[in-house]
Amino acid sequence: MRRPAVDTVRPVASEPAPRVAPASPAGTLDAESRRWLEALSGTGHARDEAIGRLHELLLRAARFEVSRRRLGLPYLRGGDHDDLAQQSADDALVAVLAKLADFRGESRFTTWVYKFALYEAAVKLRRRAWQDRELPLEPDSWPDIASRALSPEEHAAESELLGALRDAINDALSAHQREVLVAITLNDVPIDVLAERLNTTRGALYKTLHDARRKLRARLAAGGLDLTSNDAGHPR
């Protein structure tokens, strides 16, 4: 199974990692989660039956993910959709059973297992969408990006930051950092697709991206540019 990289290196060694709140105390599993764990940890027919029900859950989640991304994969036919969902559910089942002892009851058991199925399907679909495509790794489209972000009237006033960013990308980053930053942030190459092509891991690439962003921030701050006014986005 191809899950996010198992790199142990944090993005920035000089920054303390965010402290994750402690796990729920033992014995706080909800009743449904406990039933799942007992059934899957058992033996014989009861376990086989539980595994069958688990696979049904995983397949439902995988089919949801395939449906969700269907518009982005117009060349996939109906049979391909279900094949991908089945493969994803199968891989997720292997992963869930292998990681069963890691489940600590911090979420509902079903949410925990859905995560594996959705992830497996998402990775497969992202890779399918980019297979046989050359990855755009150079910032050739920078002028277009600046143009779509700014009207002509706004260019004069706003181009300072974007111009400084472009210069920092060219001057402050290593070739590898620039390649990763441009592919992921400007050209929308999925990080797991890029990791596969570059024969590395998602975690290793994200560390490269993180380090590149730190360099850009430092360069802009050294140039006296105010970065605090930019919307940092919002997960929800």
Residue 184 lies near another protein (rule: CB under 8 A): yes
Contacting residue, 54, 84, 203, 208, with another protein by CB under 8 A: 203
Task: Tell me if 103 sits within 8 A of 158, measured CB to CB.
Answer: no
Residue type, 141: S
Task: Give the DSSP H or E segment for 149.
Answer: helix 142-149
Residue 230 lies near another protein (rule: CB under 8 A): yes
Contacting residue, 40, 61, 84, 89, with another protein by CB under 8 A: 61
Residues 6+ away with beta carbon under 8 Å from 126 = 190, 192, 193
Residue 217 lies near another protein (rule: CB under 8 A): yes
Contacting residue, 36, 84, 114, 196, with another protein by CB under 8 A: 114
Task: Tell me if 100 sits within 8 A of 68, measured CB to CB.
Answer: no
Complex with another protein: residue 47 or 214, whichever CB lies closer: 214
Stretch that binds another protein, among 38-46, 86-94, 127-135, 202-210 (CB under 8 A): 202-210
Residue 106 lies near another protein (rule: CB under 8 A): yes
Residue 130 lies near another protein (rule: CB under 8 A): no
Contacting residue, 35, 53, 60, 176, with another protein by CB under 8 A: 60
Residue 191 lies near another protein (rule: CB under 8 A): yes
Task: Tell me if 120 sits within 8 A of 69, measured CB to CB.
Answer: no
**Contact positions with another protein (CB under 8 A) in 73-92:** 81
Residue 188 lies near another protein (rule: CB under 8 A): yes
Nearest to 96 by CA among 86, 110, 81: 110
Rounded CA gap, 130 and 108, in Å? 34
Residue 173 lies near another protein (rule: CB under 8 A): no
Task: Tell me if 130 sits within 8 A of 189, measured CB to CB.
Answer: yes
